[in-house]
Structure 1
Amino acid sequence: MTGVTTGVTTGVATSAARAATALKAARDHLLGLQAPEGWWKGELQTNVTMDAEDLLLREFLGVRTAEETAEAARWIRSQQRPEGTWANFHEGPADLSTTVEAYVALRLAGDPPSAPHMRAAAAYVRGAGGVESARVFTRIWLALFGQWRWEDLPVIPPEIMFLPPWCPLNVYDWACWARQTIVPLTIVTAHRPVHPLPFGLAELRTGRPARRVSRTGWDAAFAALDRALHRYERRPVAGLRRAALRRAAEWVVARQEADGSWGGIQPPWVYSLIALRLSGYGIDHPVMRAGLAGLDRFTIRENGTRRLEACQSPVWDTALAMTALLDAGLPRDHPALARAGAWLLREEIRGPGDWMVRRPGLAPGGWAFEFDNDGYPDVDDTAEVILALRRLGRPDARPALERGLRWMAGMASRDGGFAAFDADNTRELCLRLPFCDFGAVIDPPSADVTAHVVEALAAEGMARSPVVRRAVVWLLRAQEPGGSWFGRWGANHVYGTGAVLPALAAAGVRPGAPCVRRAVAWLEAHQHPCGGWGEDMRSYRDPAWIGRGEPTASQTAWALIGLLAAGERGPSVERGVAWLADSQRPDGTWDEPHYTGTGFPGDFFINYHLYRLVFPVSALGRYLSLHETAGSEATP
């Protein structure tokens, strides 16, 4: 027995030594990525619709240049797969609408339909149902250029601006990202502009009717509503229409951020610029100039190509990087952490936002995702910033932390859970509208956000508070039958489970509790033989993919963080740590082409380039901290 014990101890010691070596390299690499101002920011990689729609926007506004077009076209071509299609994530299935938009952008860039890569793309589009089967948003782009009839698109009239917040289908029933897109689109679809292109798209058509919704239940009711709205569009009440368009334009202008964006995200940004142009704002108007100039900060130029980020995440990345470095043992007074903490304190949001519609009596506080989207602080970022800042022990941070804690706790929904941007944004009628066939359009509570709030509040001594108790009950009810939790903002059940287990531990749930044991069993059952974890984005649509996918550094780290929080110290943890050490690059980071971040579950995905580094640093740091604690306890 002594020999067996010695062998196990030696193996764990060797694993710890390898983990320490990997951690040092990763920590040093992460420190080297900090900006002089104190923040971290990794690229947010998405898909080529960002670049295609940017070219289409510039064409519509009359500001497209030959250089921008050539650079974007090179990038779009570089992302085309051998069979001629484009996907929404690495090694994902071909996506019809993405392929249509990429194709149109390349036609705009001068690629002839007879070119082999264009013929292949067109053949796929026709085989997948043609532009007739593309999503509504893609067909809106086609309508802007005379390639689709406006009469054949669903209608959302600008008169919805007059619906009060208590009325179904008012603009605040949509999630913040959706309402910021819907409002400018009410202007666009009311004007029904056409900017003719010098070419047609007959090669993308099948001649079949556009896809239709079900004729039963709610779908039939909303189809009837859409038909009624089409009749109204032919003869709207003139005075009411003018007032509605004016109200919508004023709403859009009021929500432009300091960097020129709308919400710091691409969809409302491009539609707002088009809407304001149609509302009479000239290209030289300060609002338009700021909007177009702001896109440059979201543009990456590299090797003769040009690509756009859908959004940026400096506040989120900085909070995660700080937590990772603290987990790695960096002293809390280290200059890098001091700079980061000071920068985060300057990013606190003290002003109003749309969240006040549902929580009018709540004092502002908290943090947003990006440099300048100050109109939209979010619960998830606020929780992560609190978790990072509190560990620095800065007396000057306490007032901001107190304000953030109060605001975050006040954003609980009625059921006890927490969503990202709004409280009680759960009215599912929005999902039934024919207009909304792409992406999440409401913002209900999710397990990952609720877990981060629980962890942050518990860390501040509020584990037994009513808000945390209700949130824990919400989490327990949200656990899947197999033991995992759904991940709204990360892929998917690995992310959700890796977030909830530390929260339950912080809230005082025992490692032996059945909910924890089921979650541990789920993680262990989905570990790859190589030791890593991975979950493909297809898991949002196809349950067969839940817990399955190529192992990645970020997802392996999420699983390890969850297991360590649950008190696990066995073979699964050791194998996961070994996989991270074995797959590390010589420069201290990890390769991760697979997407692990989620924008809209099932529709829009993100590769956070910093995830592959910050989460492994946290996982390895926590593993070594527990290993050292166990070693000291074993010392006589």
Structure 2
Amino acid sequence: MAADGSALSGSLLTSEALEQAVKNAQAALSNRQNADGHWVYELEADATIPAEYVLLEHFLDKIDDPLQQKIGNYLRRIQSDEHDGWPLYHDGQFDLSASVKAYFALKAIGDDINAPHMARARKAILSHGGAARANVFTRFQLALFGEVPWRALPVMPVELMLLPRKAFFSVWNMSYWSRVVIAPLTVLAALKPVAVNPRQIRVRELFVAPPETVTDWIRGPYRSAWGHVFKGIDSALRVVTPFIPAKTHKKAIKAAVDFIEPRLNGEDGLGAIYPAMANVVMMYRAMGVPDNDPRAMTALKSVQNLLVIKEHEAYCQPCVSPIWDTGLSGHAMIEAASGPQGIAPEKTREELSKAVSWLRDKQILSVKGDWAINKPDLAPGGWAFQYGNDYYPDVDDTAVVGMLLHREGDPKSTEAIERARQWIIGMQSTNGGWGAFDIDNNKEMLNHIPFSDHGALLDPPTADVTARCISFLAQLGHTEDRQVIERGLDYLRKDQEKDGSWFGRWGTNYIYGTWSVLCAFNAAGISHDDPAVIKAVEWLRSVQREDGGWGEDCASYEGAARGVYKKSLPSQTAWGALGLMAAGRRDDPAVAKAMSWLASQQDENGEWQEDPYNAVGFPKVFYLRYHGYKQFFPLFALSRYRNLEKSNSRRVDFGF
């Protein structure tokens, strides 16, 4: 309902109601800002990370029973009533691996296996082939607890850490997230530790056949014929690796540790992502590092910092997103502050100044991260996604923050913007696009090795990240950057889908990708009547819902219809409307309907509610729910709609 209690969906939004919606949303977002100027919202994944955290405590024999009971409440709540297991996102289909981990965790927490929810979950797991058919990372968890033999895993010898950059299987050819997860994992695979598991929790009941009788743990389905080839290589490695000299083995373990320890980020953890951080905790234990060693203590603390603990529930985040949240919140606030009355411009300027100052201090200027393997002469200048992750700045975050600093206009930001500009230009891949963390990270064949059953070992260029980089460079307006921009635009034109949309690698999904690219086209001066723009606009119109909103199911990553969901969602409605406005269609009735729908869904606190997931870590494998998206994107859209009403050209002046 609107702030005044009236239903606005389906009717035109008056300028007064629009202004009130903006004012209320801006006040709500302002109230969420931290004292030092930054924003950070919860970042939620599926059952796997909370379940893994429970098992980590049992691995270490450091069990916090009150906390585990709260995590149990969370896991029970998100169990599906339709298929009795656990999905990868809200209302999603049964996922075997998530269900195995959630069941294991609940049993460890103390749930009776004959309780109705456990019996239903067990039946669903067995009907899908049982725990033996779970993915590689789940089988790794099971191996750590002695539930499956180590031969259940693909061969990932620690000697990988000795391979040079030019070697095909080198970790330097993998994405940042793969690199930081694999490094400690190879040490664990080499040492083969067994969890303390003080309560001796076992899950043999989840196997169709006893694990020791399973002879073929790696049986596909394969993505291509290369899968069969790499399975053959895996079989050969099983014969060869036992004969690797002990001296070489020891040298490889040292190489892994030498890679890991400079990248630990203190309490932000290795790679600042849960799987890598948890693997380091277990690695130190397996290596015999005492629990009171500062390295082990800090590694465990970094994991615990990801916990979200509430009165009755708790869960563990996969990572935190303060740079991203602050950058996007700042854009929404600055858009809202561009309006005339009732917004307290001075207060907003102070809030933006604090946010920008906080962001400037977080720019990575002295560390050459892993990206420098491909660009050794490029000076650092990016921002990470998390509070601290200096070896792994994020191209997408850097572009968003750079645009915000430029829009805010503080002369103190001049050097930061230029350093970011140079870094972004240097990070362009040879095909004209940009990846999230690396350059030319596109050896697609690696996604066919047995370890990569998730198909996300790489970080190739994507439309959404490329669009943000183009938007940033175009907003700055340096004529010498035009060739770089044109190469990026060529990449985007080639990447457009036949229906006119663009795939959204990091946000759900085609609505997100299409909005991102339309912003880039607008910023780069592409005509609103360009055929690619017209095609994208028509696609957005075609998937708009009757109530005026947009929504898209995460199942679109799995082959379901694009741009479609059973209900409209605040974040995706904002993306759809922002995309049309970037394409010069501010006065399109579709945009007016979207604004009315957004206003009608705003609650009395000036906020919006959204349960479905709105982003993705790895398509088909790992999905995300940014709790901030439903707040700052609707404010951004409503404010831009209002501001363009007062613009003679109806043209967006900034890249984002």
TM range (shorter): over 0.9
SS in 2 for 1:300: strand
- Distance, in Å, in 1 between the alignment partners of 2:516 and 2:649 is 27
The CA distance in 2 between the partners of 1:260 and 1:363, in whole Å, is 23
Cα distance in 1 for residues equivalent to 2:275 and 2:436: 18
Which residue number corresponds to residue 451 of structure 2? 435
Taking the aligned partners of 1:600 and 1:214, their CA distance within structure 2 comes to 18
SS of residue matched to 2:561: helix
1:345 partnered with 2:360: yes
Q: Per-residue CA shift, 1:119-166, capped at 9, x if unaligned?
A: 111000000110111101101100111100101211111111111112
TM-aligned CA deviation for residue 234 of structure 1: 3.0
Contact 1:417/1:450 (<8 A) preserved: yes
Q: Note the C-alpha offset of 1:547.
A: 3.8
1:444 equivalent in alignment to 2:444: no
- Residue aligning to 2:4: none
Q: Which residue of 2 aligns with 1:8?
A: none
- Structure 2 residue 494 is the aligned partner of structure 1 residue 494: no
Distance 2:201 2:162 in 1: 40
| Residue equivalent to 1:213 | 220
Q: Where in structure 2 are there 5+ consecutive unaligned residues? A: 1-9, 339-344, 652-656
> 2: CA distance between counterparts of 1:447 and 1:608?
20
Q: For 1:520, which of 523, 532, 537 is the aligned residue?
A: 537
342-351 vs 272-281, greater mean Cα deviation: 272-281
2:440 corresponds to which residue? 424
Contact 1:48 1:102 in 2 (8 A): yes
- Is the 2:139–2:152 contact (alpha carbons within 8 Å) kept by the matching residues of 1? no
**In structure 1, the residue corresponding to 2:375 is in which secondary structure?**
coil
Contact 1:260 1:287 in 2 (8 A): no
1:203 is the counterpart of 2:196 = no
Task: For 1:325 and 1:65, locate their aligned partners in 2 and report how far apart those are by CA, in whole Å.
Answer: 40
- Are the structure 2 counterparts of residues 631 and 564 from structure 1 closer, same or farther at C-alpha, using a change threshold of 3 Å? closer
Which residue in 2 is equivalent to 1:163?
163
Quick one: distance in 2 between partners of 1:189 and 1:407? 37
Letter aligned with residue 111 of structure 1: D
490, 494, 499: which one aligns with 1:473: 490
Output aligned runs, 1:85-100, within 5 Å.
Answer: 85-100=85-100
Which region of structure 1 is more displaced relative to structure 2, 525-534 or 44-53? Answer: 44-53
Paired residue secondary structure (1:607): strand
Residue 541 of structure 1 is matched in structure 2 by 558
Stretches of structure 1 lacking an aligned partner (at least 5 in a row): 1-10
Which residue pairs with 1:576 in the alignment?
Answer: 594
Structure 1 position 368 matched with structure 2 position 419: no
Distance 1:190 1:544, change over 3 A: same
Which of 365, 371, 388 is the matching residue for 1:355?
371
Residue 199 to residue 315, structure 1, CA distance change in 2 (3 Å): closer
Higher RCO (CA-CA < 8 Å; seq separation 6+): 2
Q: Is the 8 A contact 1:15 1:574 kept in 2?
A: no
Moved more, 189-198 or 115-124: 189-198
Q: Please point out which of 402, 406, 413 is paired with 1:397.
A: 413
Taking structure 1 as the reference length, the TM-score comes to 0.95
**Is contact 1:536-1:550 (8 Å) kept?**
no
> Hey, what's the Cα distance between the residues in 2 that align with 1:255 and 1:314?
19
Superposed, 1:585-600 pairs within 5 Å as: 585-600=603-618
Say which of 231, 236, 240 aligns to 1:232. 240
C-alpha spacing 1:246/1:28, structure 2 compared with 1 (3 Å)? same
1:459 aligned to 2:466?
no
2: CA distance between counterparts of 1:426 and 1:557?
A: 32
Aligned partner of 2:275 among 267, 285, 295: 267
Query: Residue 76 of structure 1: SS of its match in structure 2?
Result: helix
Instruction: Please say if residues 526 and 548 of structure 1, whose CA atoms lie closer than 8 Å, have aligned partners that are also in contact.
Output: no
**Contact 1:146–1:196, Cα closer than 8 Å, also in 2:** no
Whether the 8 Å CA contact 1:328–1:621 is kept in 2: the answer is yes
From the superposition, tell whether residues 12 and 459 of structure 1 become closer, same or farther in structure 2 (CA, over 3 Å): farther
Q: Deviations over 1:403-458 (max 9, x none)?
A: 01101111000111001100100011220110111252100000000000000100
Task: State the SS of the aligned residue for 1:227.
Answer: helix
Identity of aligned residues (%): 37
Q: Which residue of 2 aligns with 1:602?
A: 620
Contact in 1 for aligned 2:543/2:563 (Cα 8 Å):
no
Asked if 1:621 corresponds to 2:620, the answer is no
Q: Secondary structure at the match of 2:647?
A: helix
SS in 1 for 2:646: helix
- Kindly indicate whether residue 152 of structure 2 is the aligned counterpart of residue 152 of structure 1: yes
Task: Kindly provide the CA deviation profile for residues 589-619 of structure 1, in whole angstroms up to 9, marking residues without a partner as x.
Answer: 1110011111111211111111001111111
- Give 1:521's aligned amino acid: E
CA contact (8 A) 1:363 1:407 kept: yes
User: In the alignment, residue 233 of structure 1 is paired with which amino acid?
Assistant: T
Alignment-derived partner of residue 60 in structure 2: 61
AA aligned opposite 1:342: S
In the alignment, the residues of structure 1 paired with residue 542 and residue 50 of structure 2 have an alpha-carbon distance, to the nearest angstrom, of 40
Sort the Cα spacing of 1:13 and 1:234 in 2 relative to 1 into closer, same or farther, 3 A: closer
The residue type equivalent to 1:625 in the other structure is N
Is 1:290 equivalent to 2:298 in the alignment? yes
How far apart in 1 are the matches of 2:284 and 2:487? 44
Name 2:342's counterpart in structure 1.
none
When structure 1 is superposed on structure 2, of 352-361 and 188-197 the one drifting more is 188-197
Deviates more, 1:537-546 or 1:336-345: 537-546
Q: Secondary structure at the match of 1:465?
A: helix
Q: 2:546 aligns with which of 506, 529, 533?
A: 529
Q: Distance in 1 between matches of 2:11 and 2:227?
A: 58
Whether the aligned pair in 2 keeps the contact of 1:249 and 1:276 (CA below 8 Å) is: no
Q: TM-score if structure 2 supplies the norm length?
A: 0.92
In structure 2, what is the equivalent of residue 252 of structure 1?
A: 260
Separation (CA, whole Å) in 1 of partners of 2:642 and 2:107 = 55
SS of alignment partner, residue 605 of structure 1:
strand
Tell me, yes or no, if the aligned pair for 2:363 and 2:381 is still in contact at 8 Å: yes
Which position in structure 2 is the counterpart of 1:192? 192
Q: Say whether 1:277 aligns with 2:279.
A: no
Deviation at 1:67, TM superposition (A): 2.5
Give the AA of the match of 1:502.
C
One-letter code aligned to 1:411: M
Shift in alpha-carbon separation, 1:543–1:13, aligned structure 2, 3 A: closer
Residue 89 of structure 1 deviates from its aligned partner by: 0.8
Q: Conserved in 1, the CA contact under 8 Å of 2:13 and 2:596?
A: no
Shift of 1:500: 0.6
Q: Distance in 1 between matches of 2:201 and 2:395?
A: 47
RMSD: 1.9
Partners of 1:14 and 1:81 in 2: CA distance? 38
Q: Aligned partner of 1:203: which letter?
A: E
> Deviation above 6 Å: which 4+ runs of structure 1?
none
Displacement of 1:180 = 0.5
Displacement of 1:631 in angstroms is: 10
Shift of 1:214: 6.0
User: Do the aligned residues in 2 keep the contact of 1:539 with 1:546 (CA within 8 Å)?
Assistant: yes
Partner in structure 1 of residue 323 of structure 2: 315
Letter in 1 for 2:114: S
Partner of 1:128: 128
1:13–1:110 distance in 2 versus 1, CA, 3 Å: closer
